[in-house]
Amino acid sequence: MRSTLSSTRKTGLRRLKVLVTAGPTRERIDPVRFISNYSTGTFGYKIAEAAYRKNHHVTLISGPVCRKSQRGIRVVLVESAREMRAAVLREFKKCDCLIMAAAVSDWRIKEEKKAKIKKNRAAQTLKLVENPDILRESALRKNGRIVVGFALETERLEQNAIQKLKAKSLDLIVANKLTRNKNVFSDNKTSVLIVDKFGGKKYFCNKSKGKLANIILDKALNLNIG
């Protein structure tokens, strides 16, 4: 894998296999309700499209979103975190670079109800259990592959991003901050901090997600992982 990536940088001819995840996951409570988040999948889809335009082989693993992918991109549709984990671990074996842009739910319901929960006067208590950490699990198996993670923070952006980068053995992390005045999920423009495993840091302010997708992809694929 190492020599493959090195030769790619030198010649610029070989098409890499890029695996991208996008969107939220849904964790079912009962047949009509679920736990999820506000992710629209925009970043992941933009990154997949950027990789395809650069002539790479692209597989996009997508949670439920209201988006269509560009023709030519192979798409794997999933719903829950466990479905995404199974798809990522299966496809990861065949890729050169994983960019994990999906907003995977941290928790799921311990016991999904088979019938709709009826409203009554008694309060409902839902027990939650942690979902698998797909990003860390993939990074521990990378064996020369590039693994990129995302982090959405509400405080201490740089500190938390660096901590996550190291804790999960990532090669690159893209972090942005949730503020009251900006909707990082639906806005076309956003600001991100990109940190690599060598200590390189750069902040990109108020850029379109399309431009950021190209920046993130180029930084990931040009990492010296030797």
- Helix-strand-coil split of the chain, %, nearest 5: 30, 30, 40
37 catalytic? Reply is yes
Residue 99's SS3 state is: strand
CB 92 within 8 A of CB 145: yes
Torsion sign over Cα 58, 64, 69, 75:
positive
- The structure tokens 């806005």 sit at 187
- Among 146, 125, 124, residue whose Cα is nearest residue 135: 146
CA–CA distance, 100 with 122 (Å, rounded to integer): 40
Please name the helix (run of DSSP H) or strand (run of DSSP E) that holds residue 178, with its range, or none: none
First and final CA of the chain: distance in angstroms? 10
CA–CA distance, 164 with 126 (Å, rounded to integer): 29
Q: Which residues are catalytic?
A: 37
